[in-house]
């Protein structure tokens, strides 16, 4: 049995008993029932994921995976490919958006080179796990081989498993890859069945004409490769990316170990479509941090039945939305665990309850 | 010149030069322009409020004001009035929702007794600033005298000014007062001109019949007192509350000292309606943390032209939403200040910019 299959086999539905206990405790805390809204729901789900009535969100990691994309040859964006590698350097020096937000929420960052187009200098905080030097141009041939698709997902499983072995309460996903809204939109179109034009957005800021061209590129990639929507590995190989496959692996590996995953925006959403197509139960382990400004993101989340916590018109990626989502997950867990009960605080309860 | 008038006189429009510099810096940071969405907007507004290009959100306070309401005699809710005093005790012992969230965002809490119906034991963290022992039943007479309305607002100005004197970068507002969604809905109806039934909600959890009764109580309070919508102090006196007046004072005092105010939910929204009716420029200093589950809250925010940062179906009050909003304000300020520029990080810029 290969690693992907065995990982999927290890993923259980949430622990209903722990959820029932968390829900019961919510009703005893000094507040009107339900008045913490989605934080209460989230605390109960975290209990089910972590399989304990009082979930803990203390040890936090954000895994940011980088990869390049051959489809940039079709001029789908305005940024030069070298920016992927340069931004990895920025992550390693602590100057990117994700560094600032991870510091604020006290999460450590794991940066993984899943397939940047050039060799990166070794760095103690960088995992070099290349599945290739960028994908192929998916307008001409599959983005990667079937073997590379498996490798990317397995690498993600390995990376998150190693972190979990060190102790981990929650993982956030992040990405860096010039051009990667293009494969993400392609995955979204194939898996959700929505038209390419509906799920494709302006990425880092395209004009109307450029957006039209991007839609055309994605349509050509799909018609040239015929990805099979019922075979997530086939979709990943034909129109995906190395960092997208890696993040799907992170989601599978975390779920197998009962660790909640806060997914970032559009690229993490594409990875989540792959992961949840491989194993639908993974949905229960995913917390949608925010709604990206990319129009396809809502379609992805709807397809998976996930409701984003935040709507801040962010579209930076890197895991920036996930960092904010981790903060809210911590708030959910802490209010459940730390608030006093009516009995402890000697506060009278609602008349109707008496 | 009295304290309210002099405070209002001290409130200036935001510093456009600081905002322009913050906006310019946003364009140089290592991210696609605009990709941090509302965090970028917020960082620019904070620059304008604090009158410096790099706003700082480090020294944080949440001011939670408590008061009782004579209108509880009309049975507008299901919780006994004693809960107001009991919850103040819970705040002082660190067991309430606001204590947990304030700890998480590293904000200190100031608890002020603005008019709880009974005497509270002295406590080093409690400001006893009673304007009365609960308001009067506004169905029968004005909730408070004109003098008490002025006293409540001036007390809020004094409390926030004392905190600012100690050093303060941001203030969050919070409330505790059994029955206080009733005066808040009354204030909303009077100031926005919307029907009482439209702005009134279920508070801590009313049935359909109880909601109908609450609407009727508010309509009676308005028709018996004839509050003058163009005179915010008259509205506060006739259908308001001591903690609502106090929070309006906090907003005025903070704005006068260039300190941003993160407003919580429905009760803080009512206070903001009073404050912004007294001095419309105060709006620029207010950050709407979240959209409460109370239906009138959206109407209040629309009236003031504020867009909430979060929509988490929360309706606890105490400043819990404000604590989450303070976290986002800090994220906005930190990304602006701490992210590397393209030049610093040696990252290539967008082709179009070259």
CA distance A317 to chain B (A): 9
ipTM exceeding 0.95? yes
> In this complex, is the C-beta atom of B34 within 8 Å of any C-beta atom belonging to chain A?
yes
> In this complex, is the C-beta atom of A342 within 8 Å of any C-beta atom belonging to chain B?
no
Rounded to an integer, the average pLDDT of A205-233 is 96
Are the Cβ atoms of B293 and A37 closer than 8 angstroms? yes
Q: pTM of the predicted model, to two decimals?
A: 0.97
pLDDT, greater one: A130 or A351: A130
> In this complex, is the C-beta atom of B137 within 8 Å of any C-beta atom belonging to chain A?
no
pLDDT of A229 higher than 60: yes
Which pLDDT tens digit goes with each residue over A32-49? 999 999 999 999 999 999
Count of CA atoms in the C-beta half-sphere (13 A) of B170: 32
Q: Specify the length of chain B in residues.
A: 354
| CA B168 distance to own-chain centroid | 16
**Looking at the DSSP assignment, which residues form a beta bridge with residue A29?**
A341
CA distance B103 to chain A (A): 10
User: pLDDT value at position B354?
Assistant: 45
Predicted confidence band of residue A354 (pLDDT cuts 50, 70, 90)? very low
CA distance A93 to chain B (A): 8
Residues of chain A with CATH 1.10.1610.10: 3-55+336-352
Dist. CA A336–CA A22, nearest whole Å: 8
Domain B60-332, what architecture? 3-Layer(aba) Sandwich (3.40)
User: pLDDT value at position A1?
Assistant: 62
Edge to edge, the sheet with strand A170-176 lists: A126-128, A108-115, A60-67, A170-176, A261-263, A286-288
Are the Cβ atoms of A344 and B205 closer than 8 angstroms? no
Residue in chain B lying closest to A79 (CA): B350
Dist. CA B275–CA B252, nearest whole Å: 6
- A319 phi-psi bin (left φ>0, alpha ψ -120 to 50, beta other): left
Dist. CA A284–CA A116, nearest whole Å: 31
Rounded to an integer, the average pLDDT of A247-257 is 98
Dist. CA A288–CA B210, nearest whole Å: 36
User: pLDDT value at position A285?
Assistant: 98
Are the Cβ atoms of B204 and A35 closer than 8 angstroms? yes
Intervals of chain B under pLDDT 70: 1, 352-354
Question: Is A338 among the catalytic positions?
Answer: no
Of the candidates A139, A142, A143, A95, the residue with the CA atom closest to the CA atom of residue A115: A143
Give the closest of B82, B309, B339 to A97, CB-based: B339
Residues of chain B with CATH 3.40.50.10210: 60-332
Give the closest of B35, B97, B100 to A204, CB-based: B35
> In this complex, is the C-beta atom of A344 within 8 Å of any C-beta atom belonging to chain B?
yes
Q: In chain B, what is the straight-line distance between the N-terminal and C-terminal CA atoms, in Å?
A: 57
Write the CB contacts of A233 (distance below 8 Å, at least 6 apart in sequence): A146, A149, A150, A153, A278
| CA A332 distance to own-chain centroid | 19
Rounded to an integer, the average pLDDT of A160-182 is 98
CATH code of the domain occupying A3-55+336-352:
1.10.1610.10
Torsion angles phi and psi, residue B117, rounded to 5: -70, -15
Are the Cβ atoms of B38 and A79 closer than 8 angstroms? no
């Amino acid at each position: 049995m290969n690693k992907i299959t065995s990982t999927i086999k290890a993923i259980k539905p949430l622990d209903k008993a722990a959820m029932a206990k968390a829900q019961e405790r919510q009703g005893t805390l000094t507040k009107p029932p339900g008045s913490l809204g989605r934080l209460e729901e989230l605390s109960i789900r975290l209990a089910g994921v972590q399989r304990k009535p009082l979930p803990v969100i203390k040890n936090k990691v954000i895994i940011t995976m980088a990869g390049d994309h051959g489809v940039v040859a079709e001029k789908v964006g305005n940024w030069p490919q070298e920016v992927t590698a340069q931004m990895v350097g920025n992550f390693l020096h602590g100057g990117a958006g994700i560094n600032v937000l991870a510091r604020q929420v006290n999460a450590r960052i794991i940066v993984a080179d899943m397939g940047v187009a050039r060799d990166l200098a070794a760095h103690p905080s960088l995992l070099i796990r290349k599945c290739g030097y960028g994908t192929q141009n998916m307008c001409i041939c599959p983005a990667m081989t079937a073997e590379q698709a498996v490798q990317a997902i397995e690498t993600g499983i390995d990376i998150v498993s190693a972190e979990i072995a060190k102790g981990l309460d929650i993982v956030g996903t992040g990405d860096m890859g010039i051009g990667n809204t293009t494969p993400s939109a392609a995955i979204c179109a194939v898996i959700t069945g929505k038209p390419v034009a509906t799920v494709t957005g302006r990425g880092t800021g395209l004009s109307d004409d450029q957006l039209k061209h991007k839609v055309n590129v994605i349509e050509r990639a799909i018609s040239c490769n015929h990805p099979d929507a019922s075979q997530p590995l086939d979709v990943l190989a034909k129109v995906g990316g190395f960092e997208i496959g890696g993040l799907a692996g992170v989601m599978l590996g975390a779920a197998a170990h009962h660790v909640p995953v806060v997914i970032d925006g559009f690229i993490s959403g594409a990875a989540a479509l792959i992961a949840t197509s491989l194993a639908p139960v993974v949905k229960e382990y995913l917390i949608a941090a925010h709604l990206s400004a990319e129009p396809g993101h809502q379609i992805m989340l709807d397809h998976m039945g996930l409701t984003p916590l935040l709507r801040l018109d962010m579209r930076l990626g890197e895991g920036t939305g996930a960092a904010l989502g981790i903060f809210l997950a911590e708030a959910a867990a802490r209010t459940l665990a730390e608030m006093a009960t009516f009995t402890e605080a000697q506060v009278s309860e609602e008349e109707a309850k008496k």
